[in-house]
Structure 1
Amino acid sequence: MILRTTHTRLGAGIVAGLAACALAVSASPASANMDDGWVRGYDTYVGDWGDEGELYRDAGPFGHVSTSNAVCLWQRVLWAEGAKKTQLAGKPSFTTSDINGVFDYDTYYATADLQRTWRIGVDTRVGKTTFGRADNQLSKTGGSTDRGKTLYLKYDGASHDFNLRRNTEGKYLFQDADGDWRQAGYDYRTCG
């Protein structure tokens, strides 16, 4: 009888422990990535972009081409860094008129140029390593890093700076060429 009671208590303790672990895991914040639909972050802004989805262009006429406001945000970074958008002589820099939300060949070549400059390995894809490196250039200009509060940031590029904000839901916003604020999302394109 004592053995059966001990086993019952032990089993109940294990079940309670597993339930507590499950609740703790479900209460932790979701990772901000492409599945979430937004370029998003929480708490401190350091490392916010290191868990984002991939933006890229496959080679060939029928390959994948990322098209979204997240691409527009990346193109703002290329402009701010003065990335070169072609392999041709003269190598013109990425301009604000190139910000269209389409991971076109100018974006492809400028991404490769910036990856070379940053010495992070050239794969022409903007994912955890490349996006993560870009958020090293963010600095706080105002607001709060507390959840549910708006945070104001500046991207400090090699050639240009631009302002961003992280809204109360943790979503990043940037200004388009007309000065309108756009949310950096993966599932739609309203910039460009």
Structure 2
Amino acid sequence: MTSYRKSAVAVLTAAAVLTLGLGASPASAKSSDGFVRGYDGFADDFDDEGTLSLSLNEKSNATCMWQALLWSEGIRNDRDGIDGLFGNDTYQASRVFQDWNGLTVDGVVGKGTFAEAGKRLTYVSGSTARGKELTLKYESGVRNISLIRDSQGRYKFRDANSGWRVAGYDYLTCP
């Protein structure tokens, strides 16, 4: 093979590798499998969650669960307004939560904001062992809400109609 052909093959190979690398989704956009999830002990379950914002996962059950947590905090006052749409109201409420907790105030619910919320999880019943269901309470000091970590580690929250929903990043089924 001539040196010209070797150079051309090397350039094309590098371009293909670069294109594949740039096409990958950023790791912070979602949790690894599309669900708010935890295993074993629950204290750090929210420490590695994906991002919720005006442009990431803005229409999702994970956003709906976040809105329920904001309602529990007393930042959102309308339980019926929990709709899973990360609009300006949720953006502003997230900024209030961040400000109250000494976090960077940017309205983006990322690992730090989720981790701060996770500090309010308390044990109610069940087992922290993998494959077992665990019932937790989110205790904000204003309103408490129940959460379930199912046998697959996925978090469930109760929507405004008293139905249980799985908190996922890739779909929206809450009212």
Give the TM-score of the pair, scaled to structure 1.
Answer: 0.73
Q: Which of 131, 148, 151 is matched with 1:148 structurally?
A: 131
- CA offset digits 1:93-144 (Å, max 9, x no partner): 4321220000011101000011101111101111100001001000010000
Quote the residue 1:50 is aligned against. 47
Closer, same or farther: CA 65–40 of 1 in aligned 2, 3 Å = closer
Counterpart amino acid of residue 185 in structure 1: G
After TM superposition, give the deviation of residue 164 of structure 1 in Å.
Answer: 0.6
Runs (4+) of structure 1 exceeding 3 A deviation are: none
- CA offset digits 1:133-170 (Å, max 9, x no partner): 00100001000000000000000013211001100000
Task: Give runs of aligned pairs for residues 26-175 of structure 1, distance below 5 A.
Answer: 34-58=31-55, 66-83=58-75, 93-175=76-158
Larger gyration radius, structure 1 or structure 2: 1
Counting aligned pairs with the same residue, the percent is 45
Counterpart amino acid of residue 107 in structure 1: T
Counterpart amino acid of residue 154 in structure 1: K
Unaligned runs of 5+ in 1: 1-32, 59-63, 84-92
- Whole-Å Cα distance in 2 between the matches of residues 178 and 98 of structure 1? 12
Quote the residue 1:25 is aligned against. none
Q: Is this contact kept in 2: 1:76–1:99, CA < 8 A?
A: yes
After TM superposition, give the deviation of residue 65 of structure 1 in Å.
Answer: 6.4
- Whole-Å Cα distance in 2 between the matches of residues 122 and 158 of structure 1? 21
- Whole-Å Cα distance in 1 between the matches of residues 93 and 63 of structure 2? 13
After TM superposition, give the deviation of residue 34 of structure 1 in Å.
Answer: 2.3
Q: Is this contact kept in 2: 1:50–1:127, CA < 8 A?
A: no
Aligned length: 146
| RMSD of aligned alpha carbons | 1.2
